[in-house]
Every structure is written in C-alpha cells, then in structure tokens.
Amino acid sequence: MSFIDGSAVNVALPVMQRELHASAQSGQWVVESYALFLSALMLIGGSLGDIFGRRLVYGIGIALFAVASLGCALAPNVDVLVVARSVQGIGAALATPGSLALISAHFEGEARGKAIGTWSGFAAMTAAIGPVLGGWLVQFGSWRTVFLINVPLALIVIVLLVRAVDESRDESAPREVDYPGALLATLGLGGLVYGLIALQSGQHDQAALWALGIGSIALAGFIAVERRSRHPMMRLDVFTSRTFSAANLYTFLLYSAIGGCLYFVPFDLIDVQGYGTAAAGGAMLPFIVIMAVSSRFSGGLVARIGARRPLVAGAVLAAAGLAVYGCAGIGKPYWTSFFPGAVLLGLGGALFVAPLTTTVMDALESSHAGLASGINNAVSRVAGLIAVAALGIVLANVFDARIATRIAHLPLAPSVRRLALAARGPLFAGQVPHGVVGPSDRAQIAAAAKASYADGFALVMFVSAFITLGAAAIGSDRSFALRPNLTDKRFS
C-alpha cells in the first residue's frame, strides 16, 4: 500500500493539479507532505515495533493509512489533501519498517538473504507498478480511486496479519520513546523542504532562507539530542560499523537520484510528451518486469559473491538509464527514448536493491532488525524528500530562463507577451493562462513552455545520473566485498 501510493500519486499529480486548481508548489506538497512524515517518523516506527511488538505497530500503521486514504479520496481542495497525505505518512512510518523487521526476525543465514530478496523485489515491484495502476485509474476513473483502493487492501492485510504472522519484539529495547528527537527531525526536515520549495518560485526568498536556517538548526539539535539521550530513536553508535555507514551513504545518494526520477518523469511524459496517464504509467513497465523477475535471484547472489560488485554495477546501470532519460527530448518514439532508460533502470535496480537491503540488515545483530530497517528506510525516504525539492530548483531555474527567452522571440502582441511572462507559475504547471485567447498564441506559448520544461528535465536527469555515479563510487568500498554475516559488526 505505501509503496504503491508513493509512486501512483506521481502519475495522478498533473491531473490533481488541474482539477484542484493547485500551483506547481502546492502540487509538490501533495508528495512531499507524505514523504516528510514518513521520513521523520520512520525511526520512531521501528523503535515502537521493537518495544511493543512489530505485528501490533504494523497493524496500527496499516489501519491509520487506510483511514487517511479515505480522507485523501474525499478531499475538496489541495489543502485538505495535503493534511490527509501527512496522516498517511504517519501511518506508513509505523508500517513500513515493521514489514522488513518481521521478515528479518523470522529468518536466518542464507534463508534471510532470499527472504529479504523477495521482500525487496515486491517492494520495488509495487513501487514501480504504482504508476501503471495510478495512470490507469486516473484515465478510466478518477484520481480519487488511487486512494480509495487502499481501504479494501488494508482489510485484507490486517486479516492476513492476524492469521499468519507471529508477534516479535526486541526484549532488550528500552521502554522510553524519543519524542524530542521525533519533533526535531520533523521540524528540521520540514524547514528544509519548505525552504527549497519556496525557492523554486523565486518570490519568497526571505521566508525560504528563514525556513532553511530553522531546519538546519533543528537537525543539528536532533543530532545533539540523539547523542545525549539515554534512549534515542536513532542510536548514533550504530554508525561505528563501517559497512552500515557506507551502505546508508550509498542509499542516500542512490535514492536521491531515483526519487527525483520517479517524481519528474510522469510530468514530462504527460505535460511535455503528451502521453495519457495510463500510457505514462505503462512507460515504466520494463522497470517493473525486470525488478520482479530478478530481485530474488540477486538476493541469493550476495551470499556467494558479496555485495560490492552488484552494488557498483547496479548504480552504473541506473546512472546510464537516467542519462538516457536526459536525452529524451520531445516527440521521439518511446522505443528509442524512455524504453531503453526504463530497461537500464530495471537492470540496475535488480542488482542493487536486494544486496543493499541484505547488507544493511547483516551489518547489525538480528536483535536490532527494527533499528537497522528503520534507519535505512528513513535514509532512503529523506533522500527522495530532499531530492524532489532540490532538483525542483534546478528545473525551475532552467525553465524560468528558457521560457523568458522563448516568449521574447515569439510573434506575439505586447499585451499577450506581458501576460505570458507574468504567468510563469501556471506555465510551469503546464497551463496556459486563461487571458491568452487566440488559438495560435496559446499553441505557441504552450510549445515554448513544453520545450522549456524539457530543457529543465534533461538537466535534472543528468544531475541525477551524476549523483548515482557517486553511489557507485561508495559501493566500491572494501567493506562491501565481504559476504553477509562476515561484515563489520562492531556494534552489538
């Protein structure tokens, strides 16, 4: 549920923006509000599972997610939708780390690697199938059905949970919950994201700088609190494990790039290339198929050859896929533009997802499965959260520069040109201002906006590819050459 929603909403977002008359920044908050609370509170979710029972906390998270999904489906405006998405993020923060922790608590050795490989494959597959499902539901129904579908799914999950899953917990876990840490993490990440999104519009520089400053101070306070707390939600001593630290740095870089890709690709496909929502979602099918078929195999592969080679090769292939997206241009056939990019991303993901997850879980003792899962999942979510906002600045700056130049050279009446130049916000959201009534003028301005967005999209993809190559460099670290259960476990 959480993985599908995390990606399905991206495809539905262009339609949501139009129907709810939301700006590009408001639309971005539909995604970022969910990611914010999921990222900030996932560590609490893992800790609560270790203390009170992973099955119990997981079930509560699923129920809360379902209720919030109903609120999203009934939202009358974008503000209510953002609030409901925030509650969804809280539910996902309780459920997501519990799913992997439950699996890790019930398997050992090579069986654990295969089980985690299966989990990773389904996680990646559902995250990737989200655009397909979301696009189909939006095109043949409504974007609201993207959220409504979670309600029956939640009922099925809870029934299966009660009947088929045994309870597990960490008996040595402290009984206190780190609420100050959770508050500071939420405030810090929220401040950073607010500031980055505000900078995209170029109209709230002062507020953006204040938000960035407050966010940075709050995150520094979070580190200080975690360092001094007797029962922190993120134990900093786990990072004395070289393997665990390197794996999380790899995760941050890689998922920054992938998170930006999964957010911006649907906008390019729908608003620039002219795909329908179903076709835009289907454009990721090669990624889905390759991930579904290969992830379980790569989970077992780590036990034989170690994680380093799959992690490096996977990141390099993913970088190549992002670079192909950057060369897509406008109007090229799918088979020579987005298809090869999706194939390369799928091959890369098949190599890095399961080995990365297995390495993270094996870097710490099995009794700390919830802690390891929570930290790594939080890192991946924080990476996507920040990347979408930061890469949005890159795209917005390129768009602003190119749209101004293009409109200045169009054969438009002075009044129409002034109107178009003043309507940067609607154009960035894919909408020609209503004041432009001439069909020829509207077509020229729309074409200029599409070309400008495509230029920004290309740079975002190339930046993402460069970041992914940074992950490949981290993946070559010698600690990843060790096989599971032989990694550095100085933390115990």
Cα of 418 vs its chain's centroid, Å? 37
The better pLDDT of the pair 201, 407 is held by: 407
| Long-range contacts of 420-425, Cβ-Cβ distance < 8 Å, separation of 24 or more | 420/445, 424/400, 425/23, 425/24, 425/201
CATH 3.50.50.60, applies to 2-165+233-400+451-481? no
Q: Which of 61-75, 168-182, 475-489 has the highest mean pLDDT?
A: 61-75
Q: Note the pTM of the prediction, 2 decimals.
A: 0.84
Give the least confident one: 305-309, 449-453, 454-458.
305-309
**Confidence at residue 367, expressed as pLDDT on a 0 to 100 scale:** 62
- Residue 485: left (phi > 0), alpha (psi -120 to 50), or beta? left
Nearest Cα residue to 85 out of 34, 23, 143: 34
Domain ranges of the chain: 2-165+233-400+451-481, 178-232
* pLDDT, the chain, mean: 85
**Confidence at residue 364, expressed as pLDDT on a 0 to 100 scale:** 73
How far apart (Å, rounded) are the C-alpha atoms in residues 464 and 442? 33
**Confidence at residue 295, expressed as pLDDT on a 0 to 100 scale:** 64
The span from the first CA to the last CA of the chain, in angstroms, equals 33
The better pLDDT of the pair 123, 491 is held by: 123
pLDDT in tens, 155-176: 999 999 888 888 877 766 667 7
**Confidence at residue 486, expressed as pLDDT on a 0 to 100 scale:** 46
Token readout for 354 is 């399961």
How far apart (Å, rounded) are the C-alpha atoms in residues 48 and 52? 6
Find the helix or strand (DSSP H, E) in which 149 lies: none
**Confidence at residue 136, expressed as pLDDT on a 0 to 100 scale:** 87
**Confidence at residue 482, expressed as pLDDT on a 0 to 100 scale:** 54
pLDDT in tens, 459-476: 999 999 999 999 999 988
Residue 492, classed as helix, strand or coil, is coil
Q: Phi and psi of 317, rounded to 5°? A: -65, -40
Residue 285, classed as helix, strand or coil, is helix
**Confidence at residue 369, expressed as pLDDT on a 0 to 100 scale:** 63
Residue found by looking up tokens 């890709």 in the block: 261
Averaged pLDDT for residues 472-488 = 67
